[in-house]
Structure 1
Amino acid sequence: MPLPSSYSPNYFSIDDILATQERTPCKFLLNVPKMGQLNPSAAERDLKAGTSLELPLWLVIEMSAGRQPIITPELPKVFRESYREILKADACAVDLHKYSLHFYEVGSYVKHFDRRGDVHEILLHTFKTRYRQLMDLADNSVSDPSVQHSLDTLEKRIFVASHSARTKLNSWLIKSGSPLEAAELVVNHKKRKRVDVDDMK
């Protein structure tokens, strides 16, 4: 059974596991006893309120939830304003693979940390802008490998599926090889017209 892909928490999704392993900056709101080892730059046994760390996204989600959150999450670097402006200017020119291997998956989580909704908007803008480029790549039998290397995991999956479908269609069109013929109704209609013309002469 193939492992599923998902853009919501899924225990069996490899993409979801890898995406939530990415580190996200956050600040502790409370003192946390016996967790000082999470901060390699400090010798204290406890984590003090105000400490800033980068933690895995899955842990940040849990610790920032509830009525009394332990931490306040911040946006990862690639979703901050300076990077969003680059994507707005020309999303197709960006090497999204360098931004994040799971750009859209991570974005679907961190957008909940952004009350203004800027992350949500840039995710939609980036995908819509780059989708046309993906389809152009899939239609070409020989595409620029450097462009393929700039795709994130979701885009690569779409490209592979689209390119495979295009290849199968082209193969079917070549193998079928049967000439196009007019439908029987069209042929009979033309014959009837000829008879009518002959009768008028």
Structure 2
Amino acid sequence: MFRSLSPHYFSIEDIFATQERLPCKFVVPVHRLGFLDPSSESEDIAVGTSIELPFWLAQTLCSQRRNIVTVEIPKIYKEAYREILKADACVVDLHKFGLFFYEFGTYLSRLEHRDSAVIGSVLVQTFKERFRQVMDWAHNSGTDPAIIQRLDSLEKALFREGHQTRAQLDAWLNAGTGLITAAEMVVNHKKRKLAVLDDF
């Protein structure tokens, strides 16, 4: 499985994240695309029409070069929710915020939008605050489903990796190690140094 926080053709997470929908308002008329608005019987899209579009399409239409729509940030990335994360990110059930909270948020932080930079910094701060807790859960709580359900897809992957790594470490420690000996290269190096000292 490919995991990427930047566009990757083979990443399932990337495909799902860019399918997330954004509320968009058309600022220019668009001909023959009225079918995009299920509530309209018109063949065209009029100025001021609001439609939810997948991110990959909205991103293209709201660029400075095209400027066909204006994009509204989803509520889970707006100021009220950002303040909740800033207050204490560790108590938040990120799964309820979105399955691809970090991945989709990373895309939003690259949009040409006034909140993009703030979203990026909140994502980084949230991840830093929650990372230690996720690793603590992975090492000490087993595979409690209630804990896993509080995580988004990125954190779930980290949890699984941390839990598996801890299990491997425990298995290695329980198996014990044999006699630890110096590598042959180290032994030969010491012999050469002793030989040089004997010449003096």
Q: TM-score range by the shorter chain?
A: 0.7 to 0.9
1:132 is aligned to 132
Separation in 2, partners of 1:148, 1:75: 27
CA RMSD of aligned residues (A): 1.9
Deviates more, 1:143-152 or 1:77-86: 143-152
Separation in 2, partners of 1:172, 1:86: 41
The Cα of 1:58 is off from its aligned counterpart by 0.8
> Which digits, 9 at most, give the CA deviation of each residue in 1:39-72, with x for residues without a partner?
1222221101111111101111111225232112
- DSSP 3-state at the match of 2:23: strand
Deviates more, 1:11-20 or 1:83-92: 83-92
Question: Contact between 2:17 and 2:100, CA under 8 Å: does it hold in 1?
Answer: yes
Question: Contact between 2:60 and 2:66, CA under 8 Å: does it hold in 1?
Answer: no
> Residues 175-190 of structure 1: matches in 2 within 5 Å?
175-176=175-176
Report the residue type matching 2:155 in the other structure: E
2:114 is aligned to 115
Separation in 1, partners of 2:79, 2:50: 20
TM-score, length basis structure 2: 0.83
Alignment coverage as a number of residue pairs: 179
1:104 paired to 2:127: no
2:57 is aligned to 59
Deviates more, 1:151-160 or 1:71-80: 71-80
1:152 paired to 2:148: no
- DSSP 3-state at the match of 1:68: coil
Separation in 1, partners of 2:83, 2:15: 28
Report the residue type matching 2:83 in the other structure: E
Question: Contact between 2:142 and 2:163, CA under 8 Å: does it hold in 1?
Answer: no
Separation in 2, partners of 1:156, 1:112: 24
> Which digits, 9 at most, give the CA deviation of each residue in 1:59-103, with x for residues without a partner?
111112252321122211110111111111221111111111100
- DSSP 3-state at the match of 1:120: helix
> Which digits, 9 at most, give the CA deviation of each residue in 1:152-185, with x for residues without a partner?
00000011011101110010000016699xxxxx
- DSSP 3-state at the match of 2:109: helix
The Cα of 1:143 is off from its aligned counterpart by 5.2
Report the residue type matching 1:118 in the other structure: V
**Bigger radius of gyration:** 1
Separation in 1, partners of 2:80, 2:47: 28
The Cα of 1:9 is off from its aligned counterpart by 1.0
Report the residue type matching 1:82 in the other structure: A
Unmatched tracts of structure 1, length 5 or more: 181-201
1:41 paired to 2:39: yes
The Cα of 1:106 is off from its aligned counterpart by 0.3
Separation in 2, partners of 1:148, 1:179: 40
